[in-house]
């Protein structure tokens, strides 16, 4: 009792998701909101709300000007999916300054064809 788990560590099998919920950030965020609300309800001696996962879909970029968007009712891919991915991610950034900075970086990378902004390299080490 009074032990809570969120995100990847929380295996919650339900009739709709018998193999548990997807291990993605949106699930952990939803669970955290429900748990925080349940803490508030506990302080008021009110009944807790049971968590229920709502699939909002998923998106991924798969190349320059290419992405996939998988929503509960339909899916699409290509350039429109890529613009959708960029728009959603920019809208989720909190400050206007950060949105603008990220957008400028993306546009510089896009027009400059400079993929080094997206690649992390670890220097080779020599084994002796």
DSSP letters along 27-44, please? HHHHHHHHHHHHHHHHHT
Give the start-to-end residue ranges of the domains of the chain: 1-56, 58-116
Tell me which DSSP letter residue 65 carries: T
Write the pLDDT tens digit of every residue in 79-117. Answer: 999 999 999 989 988 899 998 988 888 888 888 876 665
User: Cβ of 78: how many Cβ atoms within 10 Å?
Assistant: 13
Predicted TM-score (pTM) of the model is 0.63
The CA distance from 60 to 78, in Å, is: 11
- Helix, strand or coil, per DSSP, at residue 92: helix
């Amino acid at each position: 009792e009074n032990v809570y788990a969120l995100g990847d560590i929380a295996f919650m099998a339900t009739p709709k998701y018998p193999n548990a919920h997807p291990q993605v950030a949106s699930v952990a965020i939803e669970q955290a909101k429900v748990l925080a609300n349940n803490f508030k309800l506990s302080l008021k001696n009110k009944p807790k709300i049971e968590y229920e996962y709502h699939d909002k879909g998923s998106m991924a970029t798969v190349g320059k000007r290419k992405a996939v968007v998988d929503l509960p009712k339909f899916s699409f891919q290509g350039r429109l999916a890529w613009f959708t991915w960029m728009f959603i991610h920019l809208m989720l950034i909190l400050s206007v300054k950060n949105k603008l900075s990220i957008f400028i970086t993306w546009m510089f990378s896009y027009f400059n064809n400079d993929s080094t902004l997206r690649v992390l390299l670890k220097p080779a080490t020599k084994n002796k």
